[in-house]
Amino acid sequence: MKVETFTIEGPVLITPKLIKDDRGYFYESWNSNSFADALGLAPEDAPVFKQDNHSQSQKGVLRGLHYQLPPVTQGKLVRCTYGAIFDVAVDLRIGSSTFGQWVAAELSADNHQQLWVPAGFAHGFLVLSEMADVLYKASGFWNKACERSLLWNDSQLAIAWPLETMKPILAEKDAGAPDLDEAVAAGDVFS
């Protein structure tokens, strides 16, 4: 497996090793020991996933930016098994030197890449293909009381969503989410 880090500490882009032959391909999409090694952790310190999620969305759907505050935070290991998405992680750790900065990767069924979005980050994605299936493992259970959203187009974040001529299709909660300043004022960030 190939592991790439970003200028922001925490998120990691993982490209699995594909074993291909005339029948198709095989790869390990999850291996606790390999994942711990990729994060520089002892095997026993690898994140434990409690929930798997699967979403299917049409082109132009923008989901996010979502996160969960303590006591039920979520780290997410995200992959796209059909189509392609622009996947984003925003640093919401108030003491971090990269607070409010973001990283992104195009995840697709063709590149098989996965983005690790640790707790302390908001996560969202834009569907680039006609349809996309996104699967992600979550390290914590969904908890409505801990769930928050951050405004996807906050000018302070300046995320370079590849919208081109698309108008994003948003859920009501995402369209009306607070911006970064409002999240900070409400205490809805990670200390």
pTM summary value: 0.95
Identified catalytic residue from 66, 67, 112, 123: 66
Note if 66 is an active site residue: yes
Neighbours of 127 (CB within 10 A): 26
Identified catalytic residue from 67, 112, 123, 136: 136
Identify the pLDDT of residue 165: 87
Closest by alpha carbon to 77, among 35, 33, 129, 43? 35
Each of the 191 residues of the chain gets a pLDDT tens digit; together they read: 899 999 999 999 999 999 999 999 999 999 999 999 988 899 999 999 999 999 999 999 999 999 999 999 999 999 999 999 999 999 999 999 999 999 999 999 999 999 999 999 999 999 999 999 999 999 999 999 999 999 999 999 999 999 988 999 999 999 999 999 999 999 999 99
Q: How many residues does the chain have?
A: 191
As a whole number of angstroms, the distance between CA 136 and CA 139 comes to: 10
Identify the pLDDT of residue 38: 87
Q: Which domains does the chain have, with CATH numbers?
A: 49-186 (2.60.120.10)
As a whole number of angstroms, the distance between CA 84 and CA 127 comes to: 6
Note if 67 is an active site residue: no
Identify the pLDDT of residue 164: 87
Phi, psi of 45, deg, nearest 5: -100, 5
